[in-house]
Amino acid sequence: MGKIKEITGKVFYGLLFAAVIPFLMILWAKYTEKIVKLPLPESLLPGYILLIAGVLFVLTGMWNLWRFGHGLPMNLYPPERFVKNGIFAFTKHPIYSGTVMMSFGLSVVARSTSGFWLVSPFFTLMIVAFVVGFENERTQSVFGEQDYRPFLSLPVASLDSPLFRERISSYFLVFVPWLLVYEAFIFAGAPNDAICTNLPFEEHWPIWEFSEVFYSFTYLFALLVPLVIKTKDQLRCFIIDVWLATIIGGIIYLVFPFIVRQRVFIPHSFYGHLILFERSLDGETGALPSFHVIWAFISARYFNRSIMRFRWIWYFLAILISLSCITTGSHSFLDVIAGFCMFIIIIYRLQIWRFLRLVSERLSNSWQEWRWGPVRLINHGFYGGAAGFTGTLLAGFFLGRQFALAAFVIMIFVIIGAGLWAQFIEGSSRLLRPYGYYGGVIGVIVASTLAFFMFSINIYTLLASFAMAGPWIQSIGRLRCLVQGCCHGRPSNENIGIRFTHPCSRVNKISGLSGVPLHPTQLYSIGTNIISGLILIRLFNIGMPSSFIIGLYFIMNGLGRFVEESFRGEAQTPYWAGMRIYQWIAIINILIGAFFSAIPNSGVLSFQPNIESLFMAIVMGILVTIASGVDFPESNKRFARLTSN
């Protein structure tokens, strides 16, 4: 019976990934085709190359798993042996890599704009979330720690000289991801809501054609870095530096549509013609921050560490390259300043992280309370109140003064839904009044549906207004989680974790992890929600439909929550079929989001600040402060206490 169940499970699992998910992706691309309006490569050749390469990666990976591991796949039904041979010696995830290539390639061949710019990128993020949030943990639990470093992997942090293969690998790990991200924005072209970074006084600055020598040297400067680096630790840091720059730069390009107006001139020399030729390969987008500046200073940093003689010359060269961005007319002054600031952020990333971590730790141990007889006020309620104020205000501004009261009433449903959800899903005799995020989401949906039927308010406008407010509600609400100790992470190391030591924290009273470094999952959540919130603002600015905004909110929330849950360590979180219950809900979130994003003719939002919404937000802030910060600690009645005795 057990064997039949296992075979049935494998068949279902195989059909899910080989048929159901591809079918859903095709449907998603089809029904969002008219919404996504971006260019596609004119030639079909890149599509066919990606498609064929992807098929080869997938088939080779499956064959290697079957031949060397005696089974498929690598996660839910793992093979008998951990596979390191064949294509797995080149990359750790050939099947996923191949699937992503197939998705992009098929989108080009099928001329699907949505498939290329929406479905495939989010499909890639879903795979990354699945690997980080589930598969890595699952694989380690089955096979244990593996001394396994494929060709495409970070070098170990040691003072040994890098191997030749590690230097070559770094070119794939560093330059390919950066090139793909940067060129994607160049290819997409200047958006309709573009913001020009040129300052008025720059228009009359001259073009120094000879400075193209320094501007062009950036490419050689960066390409030489992996060859001159002396240690594996430095090579590892170089790769991480560029990854971080690529991720942050890509997010800035996506969220803030900066462009540069390259200064017009008539060339009088070879270098002038070279400037124009280089501009023909580049574009106005991807300007701020300037990656020429970022590359120049990162390269100077590692040349400075590796070639000790004339150390000053490398940073001097980086300064000349930065100046050439302006003297060739290719970048604005602000582009260059932003590029240098990005470099500072990158090299001081550990110090920045340490600062954020210590601030979070101080906040997590800042519990204060005041008592008046049987009544208690806890300071974390103020953060809940701030979240309620922000949510009501933003939703009210998007709904307008006519429906300001609707925003207030819906927020009431949010609080009720959050309380009921936590009672039934996370219910505990030690937690008589917890709150659950997904209950709040259900509260919004129920209240918006009622408003639609009772008052004929556009349901998409209601939901989209709260989708715009959602990331900011959750970001502020996570500050309450830090003080209270809920939503905390599992044990981590000293450099990542934060310690909860206050005796009233849930970490101490329920989980028994007082003083243990824990993953700052609340901080992770704040970060992902801020990024989501900024992306939604951009979607609003370019006039995307309300349903698309709703859909993207659900998708991004689901992706972030799926990964976040893998770092959580709350004792009361239930599991089902090998995954945390909230990871299953996150998957449902993603599916709901894809459905909403494909709904046509849902209208667009407008931003209408009004005094009525401000008044309602103040009242809501007070009510939520009471609901999340005032309790009766000596009572054992349901909803009476916010903490355990």
204/340 same-domain check: yes
323/202 same-domain check: yes
Could you identify the residue written with the tokens 């406008």?
A: 461
316/411 same-domain check: no
117/216 same-domain check: no
- 94 near 88, Cβ under 8 Å? yes
393, two tokens: 């205000």
- When divided into structural domains, the chain yields a total of 3
What gap in Å lies between CA 331 and CA 282, rounded to an integer?
Answer: 11
Closest CA to 587 of 560, 613, 569: 560
pLDDT at 429: 47
415/289 same-domain check: no
In a domain, 151, yes or no: no
128/221 same-domain check: no
What gap in Å lies between CA 490 and CA 496, rounded to an integer?
Answer: 11
What gap in Å lies between CA 515 and CA 347, rounded to an integer?
Answer: 30
| Weakly modelled stretches of the chain, pLDDT under 70 | 1-11, 73-77, 422-435, 571-572, 638-639, 644-645
What gap in Å lies between CA 290 and CA 339, rounded to an integer?
Answer: 5
Q: What DSSP string describes 181-250?
A: HHHHHHHH---TT-EE---GGGGGPPP-GGGHHHHHHHHHHHHHHHHH--SHHHHHHHHHHHHHHHHHHH
Closest CA to 267 of 320, 208, 213, 198: 208
In a domain, 167, yes or no: no
- 490 near 566, Cβ under 8 Å? no
Q: Output the CA–CA distances (angstroms, integers) from residue 164 to 89, 228, 339, in the order listed.
A: 16, 12, 31
Closest CA to 228 of 162, 291, 176: 162
Domain boundary among 126, 143, 160: 143
253/289 same-domain check: yes
In a domain, 614, yes or no: no
What gap in Å lies between CA 232 and CA 158, rounded to an integer?
Answer: 6
The parent domain of residue 122 ranges over 2-143
Q: HSE of 366 in the Cβ direction (CA atoms, 13 Å)?
A: 17
In a domain, 547, yes or no: yes
- 333 near 263, Cβ under 8 Å? no
pTM of the model: 0.92
In a domain, 207, yes or no: yes
Closest CA to 102 of 132, 59, 73: 59
409/294 same-domain check: no
pLDDT at 635: 76
User: Which residues are paired to 489 by β-bridges?
Assistant: 568
pLDDT at 432: 45
464/510 same-domain check: yes
**Model pLDDT for residues 189-228, shown as the tens digit of each residue:** 888 888 999 999 888 899 999 999 999 999 999 999 999 9
- Tell me which long-range contacts 74-80 makes (C-beta under 8 A, separation of at least 24): 74/135, 74/139, 75/134, 75/135, 75/138, 75/139, 76/9, 76/13, 76/138, 76/578, 77/6, 77/9, 77/10, 77/13, 78/138, 78/139, 78/142, 78/143
In a domain, 403, yes or no: yes
User: Which residues are paired to 258 by β-bridges?
Assistant: 195
User: Which residues are paired to 184 by β-bridges?
Assistant: none
Count of beta carbons in the 10 Å neighbourhood of residue 109: 16
- Tell me if residue 80 falls in helix, strand or coil: coil
End-to-end CA distance of the chain: 47
- Tell me if residue 483 falls in helix, strand or coil: helix
212, two tokens: 């193209």
What gap in Å lies between CA 621 and CA 630, rounded to an integer?
Answer: 13
Q: Output the CA–CA distances (angstroms, integers) from residue 138 to 74, 75, 78, 157, 336, in the order listed.
A: 9, 6, 9, 25, 45
**Model pLDDT for residues 308-329, shown as the tens digit of each residue:** 777 789 999 999 999 999 999 9
Helices and strands of the chain, counted as H and E runs: 24, 7
In a domain, 559, yes or no: yes
330/387 same-domain check: no
Burial class (CB in 10 A: 0-12, 13-18, 19+), 31: middle
3-state secondary structure 551-601: HHHHHHHHHHHHHHHHCECCCCCCEECCEEHHHHHHHHHHHHHHHHHCCCC
- 22 near 63, Cβ under 8 Å? no
What gap in Å lies between CA 466 and CA 444, rounded to an integer?
Answer: 8
What gap in Å lies between CA 141 and CA 377, rounded to an integer?
Answer: 43
pLDDT at 634: 81
Q: Indicate the residue type of 637.
A: K
CA dihedral 302, 303, 305, 309 (to 10 degrees): -170
In a domain, 87, yes or no: yes
588, two tokens: 């449902």
Domain boundary among 143, 164, 188: 143
Q: Are strands 195-196 and 258-259 parallel, antiparallel or unpaired?
A: parallel
400/493 same-domain check: yes
CA dihedral 571, 577, 579, 581 (to 10 degrees): -60
116/200 same-domain check: no
